[in-house]
Each structure stands twice: as structure tokens, then as C-alpha cells.
Amino acid sequence: MSDAKRAALEEAILPPLVALAVVLVAGDLLILVYGEAPGAVWRMLVDGTWGNAYGIGQVLYKATTLTCTGLAVAVALRAGLFNIGAEGQLAAGGFGAALMGLALPTGTPSALAIAACVLAAALCGGAVGAVPGVLRARFGAHEVIVTIMMNFIVLALLNYVIAAKLHVPETLHTPAVRAGVVPRLADSIAAFHGSAVNWTIVVVAAVVIGVAWYLFRTRAGFELRAVGLQPAAAEYGGVSVSRTWLGALALSGAIAGLGGVNFVLGYKGYYEDGFAGGAGFLGIAVALVGRNHPLGVVIAALFFATLSQGGLAINAMVPKQIVEVLQGIVILAVAASVPEVRRLVRKAAGTRRAGTTAAPTGAQPEAQPVAQPDPQRGAPS
């Protein structure tokens, strides 16, 4: 392995490992404060998640939504933009899926209905994502501010529509969809019985592969990453930066919106006010821990899904809110260790290279560490 590759790998993997260590210590302390034995609680967490098919099914269900929101944030960050709006885009996507499911006549062929609903979810999420995209591209409005504000606007708007126009009396959810229900995995694999994991997971897996292919194997994906790394250089190279920004935020919103299908069509069969419940914000954590790589995002989504399902599993011994604290600590630990690890890894690589050049053979250093702007930072000047 070349030094550069090794350094890149270390830079990607070390921060989550540091975070894991910090979380284990912090978790131990919290559990001890509550007067329980850490070992027993951790075992309970693992048993309740990966220890049985129901637990695995629930983790996979939660990871499906988190993969969407995490991937959404990651795609935008690859273009150098920070999408804090995944929460609203997720809700809008779920609402779009429900509307389409309600509009289609009963008895629409399932495959057709699901495809239409998935498309509606992506379109609604994409439309919400396009607003900060347009404002950024056209007026230079900072996408961080706009996406934060859009969350509140979209959630208030959806709350109004549900509360005033489209709810089953005494509830805050829509009537059940007439078509487009995504079957649960439990229908085919009996072991998953009772868990919410459904075939949306396959759609999302395809999207992950599609996004990876798009980012790393297509011209448009290359341009998107180029804009994220060096907008001025990309512009000089003939890429329209503003159009790329708009496209990246719309795509990001569409991916987040897709996540709504998992809950609306795969789990409940209707849109419910507030279903996003923080999964959009957690997407920021997923993208961060997954280092903005589609594969990393999937692993990070599984990790955060395990924590959140694990909270329910340990609730008998310690308050499930422990995992919310731990999720916050994971993000802080990863965010704080990324720059530090990068500095140390580059220093070590520099030392190694200095060693090689000093050798009598005078071997050429294999590769210069690329001066790479931090892909996690979204605040442009």
C-alpha cells in the first residue's frame, strides 16, 4: 500500500475508533452514575440488537432511513455544501409518498404504485432541497442558514396541512394509503416477524450503489467533487459551479426524501406528523462518521441505528436517553479528532518520507499528500 493510500485510510478510520473508545468510557460512567453494571448493560444492548432476528430487523429498518439522510448530507458535502435540511426533506418525502399513495386508485399494480410513490418522495424532497440550491446559486444565500430555516418552514407547513386538511379525526396522521404499500421482509422471511424492516432497504441499497457510481465513475460526479474541493479551479476548468450547487442540493434533498418511503409505505402505511423525529439531524452525524463515502455512510448508519435500537433494549436497566447522550458524544469526538488525526497522520507520513529521501538510494517519495480541503467543512467564505 502506498503511503498516501495508507494515510488516507488512517485518516478515515482512526476518528471513528477514537470516538468508539470515548463512547465506551462515557457510557460506562453514565451507567455507573445510574448504579448499574456497565458490562451487563452493554451485553444487553448487543443482545437486543444483533442478538436476534427481530433486533437485527429493527436495526436494519432504522439504518435504512439513516442511510438516506446520511447519504443526502454526504452528497451535498462532496459539493462543498452543508445540508442541515435533511429533517424537513425527509418529512416532505414521506408526505409526497403518502399523497401519491392516497391519490392512486385502489388496485393499482403494486410495482407501479411503489415506483410512483418513490418518485413522488424523491421529487418532494428534491424540491425542498432545491430551494436552498436556487438561493445559493442565484443570490449567494448561505445554504446552512437557509436549510435550517427551511426545516422549520416545511415542518410547520406539513403540520398545517395535516392538522387542518388531511387527518384522521383525533390523530395527526393521514388516512392509510390506497396503493403503494411496501411489503415487510417478515412476509418472506419469518424470522423478522414483528420488525419494521421492509423492501425499501433494497431500493436504498440500489441508491447507495448508484450514488457511489455517480460520484466516482461519472463526469458529473467528478465535477461535483471538483466543485467541492476547489470551486474556483472547477469554474476555471469549465464547470458551472452554481449549476452544480443547485444540482447537488436537489439531489441531496431527493435522497433524504426517499427515506420517507421507509416509514410511510414500509412501516405505517400513512404519513404521520413528526415522523422524521431527528433522523434528518442524525444524518449529519452519519455523514461525518462515514467520512462522506457511500460505503462509510452505510456502516455509520448501521452504527447509529444499533445505538438507537439498543436504547430501547437497555431501557429496563438504564434510561434509554443514555444513547442520545452517546450519539452526541460520538459526533463531538469524531468532529474533534478528525483535524487532530489528520495532523498526526500527515506528520507521520512526512517523517516516513523524510526517512526515504535521506536513504542513500535517494528513492523518490511515492506520493505527496494532497493538500485537500476538509470535505466535512461546509462554510465557504
Q: How far is the CB of 150 from other proteins (least distance, A)?
A: 7
257: closest CA among 126, 93, 117? 93
Q: Is 84 helix (H, G, I), strand (E, B) or coil?
A: coil
Closer to other proteins by CB, 77 or 203: give it.
Answer: 77
Contact pick of 1, 111, 164, 371 for other proteins (by CB under 8 A): 164
Transcribe 206-271 into DSSP letters: HHHHHHHHHHHHSHHHHHHHHHHH-HHHHHHTT--HHHHHHHHHHHHHHHHHHHHHHHIIIIISS-
Closer to other proteins by CB, 258 or 326: give it.
Answer: 326
Q: How far is the CB of 74 from other proteins (least distance, A)?
A: 13
Closer to other proteins by CB, 181 or 307: give it.
Answer: 307
Contact pick of 7, 30, 76, 254 for other proteins (by CB under 8 A): 30
Closer to other proteins by CB, 46 or 161: give it.
Answer: 161
Name the DSSP class of 198. B
Q: How far is the CB of 227 from other proteins (least distance, A)?
A: 18
Q: Should residue 84 be labelled a site residue for other proteins when binding is judged by CB under 8 A? A: yes
Q: How far is the CB of 325 from other proteins (least distance, A)?
A: 4
With beta carbons less than 8 A apart as the criterion, state whether 277 and 263 touch: no
List the interface residues with other proteins, window 196-255 (CB under 8 A).
none
| Gap between the Cα atoms of 228 and 75, Å rounded | 10
Q: Should residue 89 be labelled a site residue for other proteins when binding is judged by CB under 8 A? A: no
Q: How far is the CB of 340 from other proteins (least distance, A)?
A: 6
- 231, amino acid identity: P
Q: Should residue 372 be labelled a site residue for other proteins when binding is judged by CB under 8 A? A: no
Q: Should residue 156 be labelled a site residue for other proteins when binding is judged by CB under 8 A? A: yes
With beta carbons less than 8 A apart as the criterion, state whether 261 and 199 touch: no
Name the DSSP class of 96. H
Contact pick of 34, 213, 216, 236 for other proteins (by CB under 8 A): 34
With beta carbons less than 8 A apart as the criterion, state whether 54 and 272 touch: no
Q: Should residue 327 be labelled a site residue for other proteins when binding is judged by CB under 8 A? A: yes
Burial (Cβ within 10 Å: 0-12, 13-18, ≥19) of residue 366: middle
Q: Should residue 381 be labelled a site residue for other proteins when binding is judged by CB under 8 A? A: yes
With beta carbons less than 8 A apart as the criterion, state whether 63 and 231 touch: no
Q: How far is the CB of 349 from other proteins (least distance, A)?
A: 19
- Measured from the Cβ of residue 321, the count of other Cβ atoms closer than 10 Å reads 11
Contacts to other proteins by CB under 8 A = 30, 33-34, 82, 84, 135, 139-142, 144-146, 148-150, 152-153, 156-157, 159-160, 163-164, 278, 281-282, 284-285, 288, 319, 321-329, 331-332, 335-340, 374, 376-379, 381
